[in-house]
Structure 1
């Protein structure tokens, strides 16, 4: 083999490793930090899997419009709110906020409470509105 062929092979191997890592990282992120859900996926969780929906926004925002079946929980007292609501930890749980960032931050706290499967509505209520899905007032 000549030198250029070896370089081509190394470049192909490097490309294979980088692309494989790029494909695996989202899966690894989901395993570590919970599942990010699109509005469509969240709807499937809610309708077919009977997921609980926990809205982490302020009371005014919740009253202005929330996902169907959502329960409001104050982020500052999240653990107490979950205990008060008596949510079944065997059912999936969807965390919702305005943009998804607050839900992502609360994810680890909720997982420590023993929920087996927790998802975060990526983009939050804003993404839900963009997808033209209904809000309850």
Structure 2
């Protein structure tokens, strides 16, 4: 029993990654993807956070909004979609909703907008 439990604990991180629907990128790679112009950038932070600074061309859809899922449902589910929040926590939760709705090409900005700004990437205010 102890051996089985140990094996499961060792496999858990691998299983969690296998279930993750997104490609994970840092700011430099995200900037290249955005520069190609073929990705929708979805910022799941609050409107106030968004107003304080955001990525050029990003669409703000607040994960805390009552109609969050409905707003996502209006987007093109086949278009590459880069999702981010401030640090990565809320956007990781949001990925579950994107996947549930059938999005097929998700990209997660792992360090969020904070990592983007810290890397010296352009910010719109």
- Classify the TM-score, shorter chain: 0.7 to 0.9
Q: Distance in 2 between matches of 1:92 and 1:40?
A: 17
Contact 1:74-1:81 at 8 Å conserved across structures: no
Of residues 16, 24, 29, the one that matches 1:41 is: 29
How high is the TM-score relative to the length of structure 2?
Answer: 0.79
Q: Distance in 2 between matches of 1:71 and 1:65?
A: 12
Q: Distance in 1 between matches of 2:103 and 2:32?
A: 18
Q: Distance in 2 between matches of 1:49 and 1:134?
A: 15
2:3 matched residue in structure 1: none
Q: Number of paired residues? A: 112
Query: Would you say 1:79 and 2:69 are equivalent positions?
Result: yes
Unaligned runs of 5+ in 2: 1-9
Residues 1-137 of structure 1 mapped to structure 2, 5 A cutoff: 25=14, 29=17, 31-33=18-20, 34-48=22-36, 50-76=38-64, 77-83=67-73, 86-137=74-125
How high is the TM-score relative to the length of structure 1?
Answer: 0.72
In our comparison, the structure showing a higher alpha carbon Rg is 1
Runs (4+) off by over 6 Å: none
Contact 1:100-1:122 at 8 Å conserved across structures: yes
Q: Distance in 2 between matches of 1:106 and 1:97?
A: 9
Q: Distance in 1 between matches of 2:33 and 2:120?
A: 17
Higher helix share: 1
Question: Relative contact order (C-alpha < 8 Å, sep 6+): which is higher?
Answer: 2
